[in-house]
């Protein structure tokens, strides 16, 4: 799923379930600390951030549960596929995010991973979980937009 957008971003992977399961309050761009074999796998697009989230440890943010497949040509020096990866942000941004995480019901969810000027970046959102009735409303709105588009196509 390697897409190139007009702004020069090469999208590696998206977390499509995130917008369905969460309300986004703020969105931040963070760098991600990767090893050599990890960046090779990321360049091949073998990444999944579907079930991942970020936590705070010792005043730093770490991405948990993200899966980066092992790189076949790395042999013995390969990386662990599911491990904590440090997010690279300014201290001011980290403190702001930690403050928002400590409020009730908020979490940090990655929404997109991409390359920007050759560097791997991850877009994280301060999010609050949706209730079941909110999800039903989202499904209803999506179905209505699809039906509306059909009606307009048939009428023209």
| DSSP code for 40 | H
User: Candidates 3.40.50.10190, 3.30.2350.10, 2.40.280.10, 2.70.150.10; correct CATH number of 3-130?
Assistant: 2.40.280.10
Residues of the chain with pLDDT under 70: 1-7
pLDDT of residue 36: 83
pLDDT of residue 7: 66
- As a whole-number percent, the residues of the chain with pLDDT over 70 amount to 96
Structural contact between residues 61 and 108, judged by C-beta atoms closer than 8 angstroms = yes
pLDDT of residue 6: 56
pLDDT of residue 104: 77
Give the pLDDT confidence of 39-69 residue by residue, as tens digits. Answer: 888 888 889 999 899 999 999 999 999 998 8
Structural contact between residues 25 and 125, judged by C-beta atoms closer than 8 angstroms = yes
pLDDT of residue 5: 57
Nearest Cα residue to 52 out of 30, 85, 96: 85
The Cα–Cα gap between 57 and 93 comes to 15
pTM for the structure as a whole: 0.80
pLDDT of residue 93: 93
The Cα–Cα gap between 94 and 91 comes to 5
């Amino acid at each position: 799923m390697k897409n190139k957008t007009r702004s020069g971003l090469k999208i590696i992977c998206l977390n499509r379930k995130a917008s369905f399961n969460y309300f986004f309050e703020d969105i931040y761009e963070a760098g991600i600390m990767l090893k050599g074999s990890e960046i090779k796998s990321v360049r091949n697009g073998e990444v999944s951030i579907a079930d991942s989230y970020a936590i705070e440890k010792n005043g730093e943010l770490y991405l948990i549960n993200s899966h980066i497949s092992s790189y076949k040509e790395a042999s013995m020096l390969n990386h662990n596929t599911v491990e904590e990866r440090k997010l690279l942000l300014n201290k001011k941004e980290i403190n702001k995010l930690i403050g928002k995480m400590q409020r009730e019901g908020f979490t940090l969810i990655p929404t997109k991973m991409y390359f920007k000027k050759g560097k791997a970046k991850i877009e994280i959102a301060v999010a609050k979980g949706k209730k079941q009735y909110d999800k039903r409303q989202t499904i209803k709105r999506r179905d209505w937009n699809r039906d509306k588009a059909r009606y307009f196509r048939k009428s023209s």
